[in-house]
Structure 1
Amino acid sequence: MRGKGGRWGLGALAAILTAAGLALVVLGLRGPAGPPSPPAWAATTRAVDGHGPVLDRSLPVRVSIPSIGVRAPLARLGLVAGGEVQVPPADRPGEAGWYEGGPTPGERGAAVILGHVDSAKGAAVFYDLGRLRPGHRVEVSRADGRVAEFTVESVERVRKGRFPTARVYGPLDHPGLRLVTCGGAFDRAERSYQDNVIVYAAETAVR
């Protein structure tokens, strides 16, 4: 069911994101330790000093994370027939995807970008997401020519079965950004990583 303004309610999103976490199935090529994982202290929110301006809706086209060398095009991710969120194409591991059922980066609210952690070719676009720390910068280029700059507030690793849906998709009074990928140990029987790595960031500037 849809909430006001065409947004999905949190109950529906809980089911959607559970499916999304399972759909971000990858090959576990990097050994039993899994991809880089954030330290426990990084999950403590370090609020930014002030927020950037609220922008009108404009589609995001690229995400850049200088500290981990990410500069990737963005696909638009909707929902498949079963009500599950789409994931970035597995044959394009260098591409991330923006969930178009939520705000665009720069609008008020939490924009959500998902990316694979690895692929048959090796590390994928968000393999190093767990290396991000509070204070690091994320930039999203938009179709209107503006670039929304976000500052990381916290980074956490959580079990997929305990995904914090309300925190990721819940309302905000400012422009925010969430980056999501897989993490933790790889379960070869289930062909899936056991956890998600989630980055929480707030817009601090626009250029």
Structure 2
Amino acid sequence: MPVAPATPAPAAVVPAPVRVSVADAGIDVPVIPVGVDANQAMELPEDPAVAGWYRFGPGPQSPEGRAVISAHVDMPGYGIGPFSRIRDLAQGTLIEVTDDTGNLTRYRLDSVTYYKKADLPVDDLFARSGSPMLVLITCGGAFDASIGRYEDNVVALATPVQE
């Protein structure tokens, strides 16, 4: 009779993205792994010139699900960040993500959408199954000085280029 091992096999290690670039928009930023903050929202590096990859989800080389990379649009003391240019990307724009093994994954931009923060489709954007996609997120829309944040999130969805 076959016997199952008492210890489950370790989960596959997902290569972490270390850089995202969009040559057409002058975006070229380092990426660090991030988790969730005390409010159960995705953590973000304070410096808007550094992006965060949601480490509890798929990576760029994952065969399914959405790899989420996000950065602040700006920050007092730092100025305007490179992700501020996401809103201006044209459909078909090439996006490149390099992981910590040196592999480069290329994506083509499908869409850029503004969502009110309360309406952000979190379950869809952070999906761990389904077709692989890259999700880039930053803030946008009007700035509400009374609460110190932007009203919207700008979301870019991109599909891997088959090479």
TM-score by structure 2 length? Answer: 0.85
1:123/1:203 CA distance change after superposition, 3 Å: same
Equivalent residue, structure 1, for 2:68: 112
Equivalent residue, structure 2, for 1:154: 111
Structure of larger gyration radius: 2
Equivalent residue, structure 2, for 1:74: 31
**Conservation of the 8 A alpha-carbon contact between 1:96 and 1:125:** no
Ranges of 4+ aligned residues in structure 1 off by more than 6 Å: none
Equivalent residue, structure 2, for 1:189: 146
Q: Distance in 1 between matches of 2:101 and 2:136?
A: 22
Of 117, 123, 131, 1:174 maps to 131
Secondary structure, in 3 states, of the residue corresponding to 2:125?
Answer: helix
Count of matched residue pairs = 149
Equivalent residue, structure 1, for 2:52: 97
**Conservation of the 8 A alpha-carbon contact between 1:106 and 1:176:** no
2:161 is aligned with 1:204: yes
1:67/1:189 CA distance change after superposition, 3 Å: same
Structure 2: runs of 5+ lacking an equivalent: 1-12
TM-score by structure 1 length? Answer: 0.67
Secondary structure, in 3 states, of the residue corresponding to 1:85?
Answer: coil
1:189/1:81 CA distance change after superposition, 3 Å: closer
Q: Distance in 2 between matches of 1:146 and 1:75?
A: 16
Secondary structure, in 3 states, of the residue corresponding to 2:82?
Answer: coil
Q: Give me the CA root mean square deviation.
A: 1.6
Q: Distance in 2 between matches of 1:200 and 1:167?
A: 11
Q: Distance in 1 between matches of 2:132 and 2:90?
A: 19
Greater percentage in strand? 2
Identity of aligned residues (%): 34
Q: Distance in 2 between matches of 1:73 and 1:159?
A: 27
Structure 1: runs of 5+ lacking an equivalent: 1-55
Q: Distance in 2 between matches of 1:82 and 1:189?
A: 20
AA aligned to 1:96 is A
Partner deviation per Cα, 1:123-175 (whole Å, 9 max, x = no partner): 11211110012100110001111100011111101111111123212244332
AA aligned to 1:165 is V
2:97 is aligned with 1:140: yes
1:163/1:81 CA distance change after superposition, 3 Å: closer
Q: Distance in 1 between matches of 2:108 and 2:32?
A: 22
